[in-house]
Structure 1
Amino acid sequence: MVMATTTSAAGTSLASVTLEVADPAAARRFYGAFGVDTYIRLRASEAPSTGFRGFTLALTVSRPATVDGYVGAAVDAGATVLKPAAKSLWGYGGVVRAPDGTIWKIATSAKKATGPAAREIDEVVLLLGVEDVKAARQFYVGRGLTVTKSFGGKYAEFAAGRYSPVKPALYKRRGLARDLGVPADGTGSHRIVLGGTAGAFTDPDGFVWEAAAPLAPTPS
């Protein structure tokens, strides 16, 4: 069953997503070539991290040719394919791992090729792999995030912040790893920091949020 939950306007919203990488200059070149550099920030870090880092960034696009275009751009820039782009029950998509270790999923709900590739992204979702979706959802509701979709203990999605192009969501960690085609085990840093509008905190699964001023709105 899908549920919608509302919260007060004074709560947290996601203002930024910062990836911690060993070589920011190399990562900047990769993400520019991949075409997603406007959605993330980069920060130098040597924090130990092994195995699955517990999250993925998912791009939703309009058609299979666009999926192929983004997967191809990522591979050309140095990414490793974890799952080749292919049809599935839900549409068409593929999974790649960036040189810095971040896993990206590119997908569309369309299964038929309906036109040429377009370098356009419809939506970016940050999927956090958590041990207990219900508990994590309640934690984030308590912090002020607004639930827009909820499927019991399997998945929860929150409204995007006014100033962020990325929508946060929760997924069972082992289910997320299985969907991405990687082992679920991992230790050390997640190598991601989330900027929030309501101060710094760490969630029950170790994802770190820091205070971040929202970007100024684009003039209309």
Structure 2
Amino acid sequence: MFMATTTFTQVPTSLASVTVEVADLEAARRFYSAFGVDAYIQLRASEAHRAGFRGFTLALTVSGPATVDGFVAAAVDAGATVLKPAVKSLWGYGGVVQAPDGTIWKIATSAKKDTKPATRRIDEVVLLLGVEDVKATKQFYVDQGLTVGKSFGGKYAEFLPGGSSLVKLALYKRRALARDLGVVDDDAGSHHLVLGSTAGTFTDPDGFVWEATASLDSAQS
């Protein structure tokens, strides 16, 4: 007599959504709509709030300097604070702003000169998590089922996109990230960030929370 057996396969995790926790939900919706990035993130009301560095940034890659300037201007007009003015650098051109809810956004391009008129198009959005140990956290995510796309030793790691999110996930040294953004790494308080998981709920080694997408949908309905 043969007994039928059932094999359970663990569903690999991929990034399904990025949810920013804000104190004033309606004000945040107005800001992100005016900024032009509301399609890339979700918002959730939260009573907890702090102004310090939250250990991450959302980085926009655009086509040229004029487009960078346009996004920076739109953010400032909507109430953002400039942390680093847009300037030319070794790697291209970019600037950093902080939204009224405290989230830091970096807008950059690899182009140093404009070859086309400014647009409102975003080529890529990357969520950069500031972590203490890039190699260890990278391995943690590989064990969760994410696939590494790029890796530069213990300095930077980027994962291949998956799920329904329009945002790519990457890891960077926390102190280096704070320095690049022009902020002090006070290493305190909540991240005010929840990542949508296509698998289960978990917390990574640096305290970033992942929730199953069903839980996120319920919290925001």
Whether these two folds match at TM > 0.5 is yes
SS at match of 1:183: coil
What is the CA–CA distance in structure 1 between the aligned matches of 2:50 and 2:65, rounded to whole Å? Answer: 33
The structure with the larger Rg is 2
**Partner residue, 1:104:** 105
**Partner residue, 1:74:** 75
| Residues 16-71 of structure 1: per-residue CA shift (max 9 Å, x gap) | 00000000000000000000000000001022535210000000001111000000
Paired residue type of 1:73: A
**Partner residue, 1:201:** 202
TM-score normalised to structure 2 length: 0.91
What is the CA–CA distance in structure 2 between the aligned matches of 1:155 and 1:49, rounded to whole Å? Answer: 27
Given that 1:94 and 1:105 are in contact with CA atoms closer than 8 Å, whether structure 2 keeps it comes out as yes
Note the C-alpha offset of 1:184: 1.2
Note the C-alpha offset of 1:158: 0.3
Of stretches 88-97 and 48-57 in structure 1, the one that deviates more from structure 2 is 48-57
Q: How does 1:46-195 map to 2 (within 5 A)?
A: 46-195=47-196
Note the C-alpha offset of 1:10: 3.9
1:25 to 1:110, Cα distance in 2 relative to 1, 3 A: same
Paired residue type of 1:165: L
- Stretches of 4+ moved more than 3 A in 1? none
Alpha-carbon RMSD: 1.3
**Partner residue, 2:6:** none
Given that 2:60 and 2:125 are in contact with CA atoms closer than 8 Å, whether structure 1 keeps it comes out as yes
| Residues 99-136 of structure 1: per-residue CA shift (max 9 Å, x gap) | 00000000000001222210000000000000000000
What is the CA–CA distance in structure 1 between the aligned matches of 2:81 and 2:145, rounded to whole Å? Answer: 37
SS at match of 1:106: strand
What is the CA–CA distance in structure 1 between the aligned matches of 2:124 and 2:199, rounded to whole Å? Answer: 24
Given that 1:78 and 1:99 are in contact with CA atoms closer than 8 Å, whether structure 2 keeps it comes out as yes
Given that 2:13 and 2:145 are in contact with CA atoms closer than 8 Å, whether structure 1 keeps it comes out as yes
What is the CA–CA distance in structure 2 between the aligned matches of 1:211 and 1:94, rounded to whole Å? Answer: 33
**Partner residue, 1:216:** none
Paired residue type of 2:121: E
| Residues 115-167 of structure 1: per-residue CA shift (max 9 Å, x gap) | 22100000000000000000000000000011000000000000111411000
SS at match of 2:39: helix
What is the CA–CA distance in structure 1 between the aligned matches of 2:11 and 2:147, rounded to whole Å? Answer: 11
Of stretches 181-190 and 32-41 in structure 1, the one that deviates more from structure 2 is 181-190
TM-score normalised to structure 1 length: 0.91
How many residues end up aligned between the 2 structures? 206
What is the CA–CA distance in structure 1 between the aligned matches of 2:116 and 2:161, rounded to whole Å? Answer: 29
Note the C-alpha offset of 1:9: 9.7
What is the CA–CA distance in structure 2 between the aligned matches of 1:194 and 1:162, rounded to whole Å? Answer: 12
Paired residue type of 1:148: G
SS at match of 2:185: coil
The gaps in structure 1 that reach 5 residues or longer are 1-7, 214-220
